[in-house]
C-alpha cells in the first residue's frame, strides 16, 4: 500500500490527525518536497512526532518510482507531499504505475493553497475562473500566456487565482513578480495588469507570517507584501459584499 499524505499549507502542524496516524503506522516514510517551498525544520519536527526517519526523495526517484512501488507491494509506505496531494503530472504517472503494478494507493488530504487562498480572500468560490501560473522567464523562454487566462476570466467577470511560480522549491519574490507582470502588460496592453489595476496579494497563507494586501499594483509594488510563497488574485466583477471584504485588506 502506498499512501500519499498531504502535508498541508505550511508546516508539520498542517498534517491532519488521519495523516499523522497513517504516518505512525507506516513501515517506511518518504517525502517529496522539490515541488514546493517548504518551511525549514518541518520534516525534522514531523519525524520526531512520528518517531521514525523521513527519507527525502529526489525528483528522479518520484518520477521513476519503480523502487518505491516495489517496496509498497510488500510494506505500508507513505509519501509526504506538500499541500493537498494535488495531481501534478508526476503524481498522475505514479497513480497509473501503481495501478499497473497492483499496488493499492490511498490519498490523505490536507489544506491546500487552492481553497485557502479563496477562503482568505473572502471572494465567492463560484466566481473563480480557470487558475493560472505566473512562470519564471528564462533567457530563451519568455511566456506571456498567463494573460490569455486573465483575459478569458475578465471577459466573463470572473476572478483569477494567479499562482506565483516556484523553481526548485524556491518561490519567486514580489519584486520579480511585479516586474514580470509589468513586462507582460507592456507586451499585451489590455490593461489587466496595469499600474492602476487592483489586485489581492497573499503571502505565506496559513502561517503566522501570513499577509494579505489589497490595492493597486502601483501601491503594492512600493510596500512589503510579504515573502514567498505568494499567490495573487486578480478580481473580476465584484459583488458589494466582496468589495466590503476586500476593503478589510486595503492598503
Residue ranges that bind its own copies, judged by CB under 8 A = 6, 8-9, 12-18, 20-21, 83-87, 89, 92-93, 95-96, 99, 107, 109-112, 114-116, 118-133, 152, 156, 158, 205-206, 241-242, 244-245, 248
Q: Which is nearer to its own copies, 22 or 185 (CB)?
A: 22
In the complex, least distance from residue 115 CB atom to its own copies, rounded to whole angstroms: 4
C-alpha–C-alpha distance, residues 7 and 108, integer Å: 9
Q: Which is nearer to its own copies, 64 or 186 (CB)?
A: 64
Q: Which is nearer to its own copies, 20 or 55 (CB)?
A: 20
In the complex, least distance from residue 29 CB atom to its own copies, rounded to whole angstroms: 16
In the complex, least distance from residue 194 CB atom to its own copies, rounded to whole angstroms: 24
Q: Which three cell numbers stand for residue 182?
A: 509589468
Asked if 10 and 203 count as a contact pair (C-beta separation under 8 A), the reply is no
Asked if 246 and 200 count as a contact pair (C-beta separation under 8 A), the reply is yes
Q: Which is nearer to its own copies, 85 or 228 (CB)?
A: 85
C-alpha–C-alpha distance, residues 53 and 240, integer Å: 51
Q: Which three cell numbers stand for residue 114?
A: 487552492
C-alpha–C-alpha distance, residues 178 and 184, integer Å: 10
C-alpha–C-alpha distance, residues 14 and 81, integer Å: 12
Q: Which is nearer to its own copies, 18 or 75 (CB)?
A: 18
Mention every residue, 6+ apart, whose C-beta is less than 8 A from residue 62: 32, 34, 68, 79, 90, 94
Across the beta sheet with 55-56, what order do the strands follow?
55-56, 28-31, 77-81, 2-6, 105-108
Q: Which is nearer to its own copies, 83 or 222 (CB)?
A: 83
Amino acid at each position: 500500500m502506498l499512501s500519499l499524505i498531504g502535508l498541508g499549507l505550511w508546516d508539520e502542524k498542517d498534517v491532519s490527525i488521519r495523516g499523522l496516524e497513517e504516518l505512525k503506522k507506516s513501515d517506511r516514510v518518504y517525502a517529496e518536497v522539490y515541488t514546493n517551498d517548504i518551511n525549514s525544520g518541518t520534516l525534522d519536527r514531523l519525524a520526531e512526532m512520528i518517531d521514525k526517519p523521513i527519507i527525502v526523495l529526489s525528483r528522479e526517484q518520484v518520477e521513476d518510482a519503480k523502487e518505491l512501488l516495489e517496496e509498497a507491494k510488500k510494506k505500508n509506505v507513505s509519501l509526504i507531499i506538500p499541500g493537498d496531494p494535488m495531481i501534478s503530472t508526476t503524481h498522475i504517472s505514479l497513480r497509473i504505475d501503481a495501478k499497473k503494478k497492483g499496488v493499492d494507493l490511498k490519498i490523505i488530504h490536507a489544506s491546500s493553497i487552492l481553497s485557502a487562498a479563496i477562503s482568505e480572500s473572502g471572494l465567492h468560490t463560484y466566481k473563480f475562473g480557470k487558475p493560472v501560473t505566473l512562470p519564471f522567464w528564462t533567457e530563451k523562454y519568455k511566456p506571456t500566456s498567463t494573460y490569455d487566462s486573465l483575459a478569458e476570466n475578465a471577459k466573463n467577470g470572473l476572478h483569477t487565482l494567479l499562482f506565483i511560480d516556484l523553481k526548485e522549491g524556491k518561490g519567486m519574490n514580489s519584486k520579480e513578480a511585479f516586474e514580470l507582470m509589468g513586462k507582460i502588460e507592456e507586451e499585451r496592453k489590455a490593461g489587466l495588469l496595469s499600474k492602476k489595476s487592483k489586485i489581492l496579494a497573499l503571502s505565506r497563507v496559513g502561517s503566522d507570517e501570513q499577509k494579505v494586501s489589497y490595492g493597486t499594483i502601483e501601491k503594492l509594488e512600493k510596500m512589503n507584501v510579504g515573502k514567498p510563497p505568494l499567490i495573487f488574485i486578480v478580481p473580476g466583477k465584484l459583488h458589494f459584499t466582496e468589495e466590503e471584504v476586500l476593503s478589510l485588506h486595503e492598503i
